[in-house]
Chain A
Amino acid sequence: EVQLVESGGGLVKPGGSLRLSCAASGFTFSSVWMGWVRQAPGQGLEWVGRVKTKPEGAATDYAAPVKGRFTISRDDSKNTIYLQMDSLKTEDTGVYYCTTRLPATASYWGRGTLVTVSS
């Protein structure tokens, strides 16, 4: 059974940093692209970015609002991906979901972790 468990959310001040983690199980993690999607309170879904596999250079792509501030990385030895969020803004507040490309983008979702950016 595919499981994705996010952690690391919390309250942070504008301009601050936070690192989210997503622990995966139930599939061959090293072979799968992984990604993040977020949802602001009462709003729709927003694709954040994704990381390819190590043989593909663990290449990353990001949505325009987070490019240059957020970094996605993976540790295949721990079956975990990370979302490093820097220079946080109030509009980054929301639930952050970890997703898999298995067989397609965002086929499986975690339960999400809440990030609140507020002074």
Chain B
Amino acid sequence: QTVVTQEPSLTVSPGGTVTLTCASSTGAVASDYYPSWFQQKPGQAPRALIYSTSNRHSWTPARFSGSLLGGKAALTVSNVQPEDEADYYCLLFYGGPQVWVFGGGTKLTVL
């Protein structure tokens, strides 16, 4: 069974920079996993932030950026704002079985 792993929680100060990562139990994450990132605030539906590793949606603030880092997918949030406090999920594509798998999520606290 494929497992996608994220940090359970991270804390960052307002104005700071934080990097969230997303690892696959099958090995290094590459661009053909089409990594995506989502933000979810309490009581709300998730919102897409990044797709295909590093592409922002039209509504995604420029302070959010995606990349591949050390065999993992990464989401970097620069100049963190209080409203960035939320749960963040990554999503990876597995071409063999043609399925998508979410990571367990990272709870980001802005303090």
Supposing A64-B1, A105-B93 touch, asked if A45 and B38 sit within 8 A by C-beta, the answer is yes
Query: Which residues of A lie under 8 Å from residue B51 when comparing CB positions?
Result: 103-105, 107
Please determine whether B45 and A44 come into contact, CB atoms closer than 8 angstroms: no
Please determine whether B45 and A109 come into contact, CB atoms closer than 8 angstroms: yes
A75 CB within 8 Å of chain B: no
Please determine whether B45 and A47 come into contact, CB atoms closer than 8 angstroms: no
A64 to B98, CA, bound (A): 11
Name A45's contact: one of B34, B46, B52, B98 (CB within 8 Å): B46
Please determine whether A105 and B45 come into contact, CB atoms closer than 8 angstroms: no
Name A104's contact: one of B36, B45, B104 (CB within 8 Å): B36
Chain B 85-111 interface mask (CB, 8 Å, partner A; 1/0): 001010101000111111111000000
A108 to B55, CA, bound (A): 15
A6 to B70, CA, bound (A): 39
B63 CB within 8 Å of chain A: no
Please determine whether B93 and A61 come into contact, CB atoms closer than 8 angstroms: no
Query: Which residues of A lie under 8 Å from residue B104 when comparing CB positions?
Result: 44
Interface residues on A, range: 20 to 34
Supposing A106-B36, A112-B45 touch, asked if A44 and B100 sit within 8 A by C-beta, the answer is no
Chain A 25-54 interface mask (CB, 8 Å, partner B; 1/0): 000000000000100000011110010000
Taking Cβ atoms with an 8 Å cutoff, the residues of B that contact A are 1, 34, 36, 38, 40, 45-48, 51-52, 55, 57, 87, 89, 91, 93, 97-105
What are 14 A-B contacts with C-beta separation under 8 Å?
A: A45-B91, A45-B102, A61-B98, A62-B99, A104-B34, A104-B51, A104-B55, A105-B36, A106-B100, A107-B57, A108-B48, A109-B45, A109-B46, A109-B48
Extra pairs beyond A97-B46, A107-B57 (16, CB < 8 Å): A37-B46, A44-B102, A44-B105, A45-B38, A45-B40, A45-B102, A47-B100, A61-B98, A62-B99, A105-B91, A105-B100, A106-B91, A107-B48, A109-B45, A109-B48, A110-B45
Taking Cβ atoms with an 8 Å cutoff, the residues of A that contact B are 37, 44-47, 50, 61-64, 97, 103-112
